[in-house]
Structure 1
Amino acid sequence: MVKPFSKSKRTPVRLRHKIEKAGSAKKRKERKLAKQNPQWRSRLKKDPGIPNLFPFKDKILEEIEEKKRKKAEDAQRLRDAAKSKKSAGKNAEVEGEDADEDMQDDQGDLSDEDMEDDEEDAADSSNLMAALLASAQVRAADYGSKGDLADDDDGDGIDGGVQVSSNLSADNRNPDSSRKAFDKVFKQVLDAADVILYVLDARDPEGTRSREVERQVMAAQSGEKRLILVLNKIDLVPVEVLAGWLKHLKRYFPTTPLRASTPASNAQTFDHKQYTIKNTSETLLRSLKSYAASKQLNRSISVGVIGYPNVGKSSVINALTSRLNKGVQSSACPVGSEAGVTTALREVKIDSKLKILDSPGIVFPAAVNDENQEGKQKRRSEHEARLILLNALPPAQISDPGPAIKLLLERMSASPALYDKLLQHYGIVALGPFGRGDTTTDFLVQVARKRGRLGKGGVPNLNAAAMTVITDWRDGRIQGWVEPPVLKIADDAEMANGATTEVGPSADQKIIVKEWAEEFKLDGLWDGTNNE
């Protein structure tokens, strides 16, 4: 029973809130005073250690010291094991080099320059791979002399990519560095391969093609090497342009189109019906396997893949290996949208009769004969701009993207349709040399404003805008290609005078092309009319 006139213990809400505010204010004041206190102490309390009066203090300290001593001994034992393994690897490497030199002396086929390159490669590697490679070469030479099979595995399968050389870093802008890389990488591939797949970019086949490479392949081993031109990235060019380039290139070497990978996001592509990833890669793989079976050698056929950087060499190998995996995407070789992903020779085994050798991208150096220093600098700037449009330079090696944008606009202006598509892609109405600038500067200024490439104070960043355009060009978001050459036929007057204006391969070259196409069963395939 409640007593009459008793006072309730409930407090009003207003009073509770007042008490909470007062408490919060007091805590804030304490924290503020604590910060002003010069004798500030950390919240992390220091470990006081073991008290001296603890009866088992000596025993605990001995256990701690014993654990420290065992940990130090284990670390020292691991370091000694690593040193001994490294020294054993160096000794095995030296033995492998001696065996390799003996084999080269017996064969007498390698030149002095190749021997020097091999010695440099062996000196650079500091692991067991060099020794294993040298011993494998000795065993391969023994098998070749006895007539035994070089491959013990008779079943079909794909081995993962095996790196067979040290990393290669070359500055393709420098002709000297490019020449050294060309001499080193291309000669290794040419010596090891029986068939050369020369990968070209369908947007500019002649720009990614080197006649010096073709001459060296034709002259190697008295013409025993085979060369096939692979026209990659065909989905970035229209049907009539692709048919024209196939017709032109087939006059020199057997040529096959290939769509090795799916395009980048928002890329402007063309549908070629029968020119799919499955059909083109299966055709190329079937041709290589038929050639390997027709040779009936006691070893596997080696196929070397060469070409400019970022033309899709590794993607070609992945497309071929994915056919054996029933269309499952293959990762035998690492790929990327930028140039310079592949930095060393990599071997991928298809089966007991066929293996493919992936190589880093090489740029055949352009000759610079101008004695004037200003002329050399101008020639190198033009060479760098051409390499940028060929996607042959990684972004780290691009010093000035401006000349490349100027060259791109000049090429696009030759085709009004492509030029209008380029402006529409960036939402540009018109270009003109406004102020003291030129057309290229006005184009980059408008791209910077449209894409938000602005610096401090809203000033357009022309370098960032140029790199944006280069990235869009590399990924196929900007449509552009080189028209195939048209053969000029001589008129009746020139024929009467015995002169002709048609420049093409000789009769011997046409016979070689026909015979090679029959060996790979490429004769009559992809004539450019079966996809209409």
Structure 2
Amino acid sequence: MQKALKKDPGIPNLFPLKEQLLKQLEEKKQQTLAAKEKERELRLQEKKRKRSLQGLQNDAQRRTKEFEKKQALQTSVENEGVSAVDRRSLRAYHREFRQVLEMADVVLEVLDARDPLGTRCLEVEQSVMAAGSDKKLILVLNKIDLVPKANVEAWLKHLRNDFPTVAFKASTQTQKRNLSRRKGVNTAPPGVMTSSACLGAELLLKLLGNYCRNADIRTSITVGVVGLPNVGKSSIINSLKRSKACGVGATPGITKSLQEVQLDKHVKLIDSPGIVIATGSGDSASLVLRNCVKVETVEDAVPAVEAILRRCNHLHLLQHYSIPQFTDTQEFLAHLARRTGKLKKGGIPDLGAAARAILQDWNTGRILYYTHPPEQHTLPTHISAELVQRWSQAFDLKALEAEEKEQLCELTEKMDEAAVVESEGVVSHVYSEEEGGGGGRRE
């Protein structure tokens, strides 16, 4: 049987260094506790680090799976030619367009004067023709201030072989009321157009008035306005109304649904969403340059910039952006990124941001370009020479030639820096709801 341990009697009170010894023992005790606390904190930090590493690994695996899933979906979309989003947009567009066609007596197809063929849709024209003889179509050549006067005249001559065509410059003023229209001769210096006023509104209204009289229509008429995104449909309506009746912007998709605007007691206008072209088919760069998709949603804007550089005058770009000479697209974007301060960490040029800035300039007209009409005119299959003559008489455009010439005199002639580019080609919109798919293609 073991003897019980004797209790430590402690330090005798008479010990001469008792207080000093107790202090040393207390300090040693505190150091031991601090060491244990530090060791415990280190263990906790190690556990957190391990959990963090595991979380990062799990997050990386999750992102990889999402990326692979997205890539597989994108491949499927490309194989099918049109995505589910495109199909929904196309169905919605067709519902809206059918309503416009049913309600309208006259349909205005708005074209961008810089590339009239590239913004012309055959399906719209074919649908109007198939709707019956009481439906009429007028082509409106908008943004004529962005191209030379001679080019406008050449396109008017070419397009009038198919349908009555009116040159137009929508007002660029931002106030909500009293958007002005230009009358008379421009007082600005020769070769420069500084006014934000509208051109062509009076001519278009007279054209509609001629149709009412010749067709013996004594009641009001409804005019539908259709076209690709950002060709200026809403701006034209605002210019005719002389107030901000419809939302406008350089971004496609501003108009989401039909908007009715009562112009006067005789004319009602209908603004419709832009014609939808499936993004899963055709040349993606072509869709971007038509401004049919939002620039900020484009994953890779570089191919579209490459297309711009192939078409534009490089000297003009150097002067316009104040950048040095470049040999390829990457160097051009790097110069522009440094010039505009679009940099990543470490001063690395952000080529994507620079590319999107170029596309914005292209779509908003800061980069000047225009196309020439084809040398030979071939009448589309859905149009007959007899119809062209009959419609021209109905609208009596010849009676307005003098006013049109005066209007065109106000266009700028100083377009040396503009690039003459090849047209994107006519849009043939071949989608139908019964097919459940389809897309836009160039011809």
TM over 0.5: yes
- The question of 1:474 aligning with 2:363 is answered yes
| Separation in structure 2 between the aligned mates of residue 334 and residue 510 of structure 1, nearest angstrom | 38
CA apart distance, 1:483: 2.1
Residues 215 and 394, structure 2, Cα contact 8 Å, conserved in 1: no
Aligned residues of 1:181 and 1:362 also touching (Cα < 8 A):
no
1:407-446 pair list within 5 angstroms: 407-412=307-312, 418-432=313-327, 439-446=328-335
The one of 302, 315, 322 aligned to 1:402: 302
**Residues 173, 197 of structure 2: 8 Å contact kept:** no
Contact 1:259/1:276 (<8 A) preserved: no
SS in 2 for 1:351: coil
Contact 1:230 / 1:257 at 8 angstroms: preserved in 2?
A: yes
Among 126, 131, 151, the residue aligned to 1:215: 126
Secondary structure at the counterpart of residue 370 of structure 2: coil
Q: What does the per-residue CA deviation read over 1:80-129, in whole Å, with 9 as the maximum and x for residues that have no partner?
A: xxxxxxxxxxxxxxxxxxxxxxxxxxxxxxxxxxxxxxxxxxxxxxxxxx
Q: Which of the numbers 215, 219, 226 marks the counterpart of 2:136?
A: 226
d(CA) in 2 for partners of 1:405 and 1:260?
A: 27
- Asked whether the equivalents of residues 263 and 476 of structure 1 are also in contact (C-alpha less than 8 Å), the reply is no
Task: Indicate the residue corresponding to 2:347 in structure 1.
Answer: 458
Deviation at 1:465, TM superposition (A): 0.3
Matching residue within 188, 205, 215 for 1:285: 205
Change (3 A) 1:174 1:427: farther
Structure 1: tracts of 5 or more residues without a match:
1-170, 265-269, 323-329, 367-376, 413-417, 433-438, 488-501
| Alpha-carbon shift at residue 514 of structure 1 (Å) | 2.7
CA distance in 1 between partners of 2:173 and 2:152 (Å): 17
Shift of residue 444, structure 1, vs aligned partner: 0.9
Q: Distance in 1 between matches of 2:252 and 2:83?
A: 11
Distance 2:338 2:244 in 1: 39
SS at match of 1:184: helix
**Cα distance change, pair 470–278 in 1 and its aligned pair in 2 (3 A):** closer
Q: How many residues are aligned here?
A: 310
CA contact (8 A) 1:172 1:363 kept: no
Q: Does 1:195 align with 2:106?
A: yes
Query: Structure 1 residues 529 and 288 mapped into 2: Cα distance closer, same or farther (>3 Å)?
Result: closer
Calculate percent identity across the aligned residue pairs.
43
What is the match of residue 16 of structure 1? Answer: none
CA shift in 2, pair 1:263/1:248, >3 Å: farther
Distance 1:306 1:299, change over 3 A: same
8 Å contact from structure 1 (residues 448, 462) kept in 2: yes
Report the CA distance between 1:475 and its aligned residue: 2.1
Task: Report the CA distance shift for 1:507/1:199 in structure 2 as closer, same or farther (over 3 A).
Answer: closer
Q: Secondary structure at the match of 1:197?
A: strand
SS in structure 1 of the partner of residue 117 of structure 2: coil
Of 70, 91, 106 in structure 2, the residue corresponding to residue 180 of structure 1 is: 91
Q: Which runs of structure 2 are paired with 1:237-256 in the superposition (5 Å)?
A: 237-256=147-166
What is the CA–CA distance in structure 1 between the aligned matches of 2:382 and 2:230, rounded to whole Å? 34
- CA offset at residue 276 of structure 1? 8.8
Instruction: Tell me, yes or no, if the aligned pair for 1:239 and 1:272 is still in contact at 8 Å.
Output: no
Question: Do the aligned residues in 1 keep the contact of 2:296 with 2:356 (CA within 8 Å)?
Answer: no
Contact 2:110 2:232 in 1 (8 A): yes
Supply the distance in 2 between the matched residues of 1:173 and 1:292 (Cα, whole angstroms): 43
- Shift of the 441–196 alpha-carbon distance from structure 1 to 2, 3 Å rule, reads same
* Deviation sequence 1:407-434 (CA, Å, 0-9, x none): 111222xxxxx332122211233221xx
Aligned to 2:268: 355
Is 1:387 matched with 2:287? yes
Which residue identity is paired with 2:275? I
> What SS does structure 1 have at the residue aligned with 2:256?
coil
2: CA distance between counterparts of 1:173 and 1:409?
A: 33
**Could you tell me how far apart the structure 2 residues matched to 1:303 and 1:244 are?**
26
In structure 2, the residue matched to 1:114 is: none
- 1:234 and 1:396 map into 2 onto residues whose CA distance is 27
Among 373, 378, 403, the residue aligned to 1:484: 373
Question: Per-residue deviation at 1:463?
Answer: 0.9
1:511 & 1:262 partners in 2: Cα distance? 38
In 1, the alpha carbon distance for the partners of 2:142 and 2:240 equals 13
Specify the alignment match of 2:238 in structure 1: 318
Q: Following the alignment from structure 1 to structure 2, what is the Cα–Cα distance between the partners of residues 172 and 361? A: 18
Whole-angstrom CA distance in 2 between matches of 1:346 and 1:228: 19
SS of the aligned residue for 1:199 comes to strand
Q: How many angstroms does 1:294 deviate by?
A: 4.3
Return the offset for 1:336: 1.6
Per the TM alignment, residue 526 of structure 1 is displaced from its structure 2 partner at its CA by 5.1
In the alignment, the residues of structure 2 paired with residue 172 and residue 202 of structure 1 have an alpha-carbon distance, to the nearest angstrom, of 31
Q: What one-letter code is carried by the residue in structure 1 that aligns with 2:258? A: L
Alpha-carbon RMSD across the aligned residues, in angstroms, is 3.0
Structure 1 residue 389: Cα displacement: 1.2
Q: Which amino acid aligns with 1:244?
A: A
CA–CA separation in structure 1 for the residues paired with 2:337 and 2:161: 45
Match of 1:522 in 2: 397
Q: Secondary structure at the residue paired with 1:207? A: helix
CA distance 1:484–1:342, change in 2 (3 Å): same
Quote the Cα distance in structure 2 between the aligned partners of 1:345 and 1:504.
31
Structure 1 equivalent of residue 228 of structure 2 = 308
- TM-score, length basis structure 1: 0.53
SS in 2 for 1:363: coil
After superposition, the C-alpha distances for 1:30-59 in whole angstroms (9 at most, x for unaligned) are xxxxxxxxxxxxxxxxxxxxxxxxxxxxxx
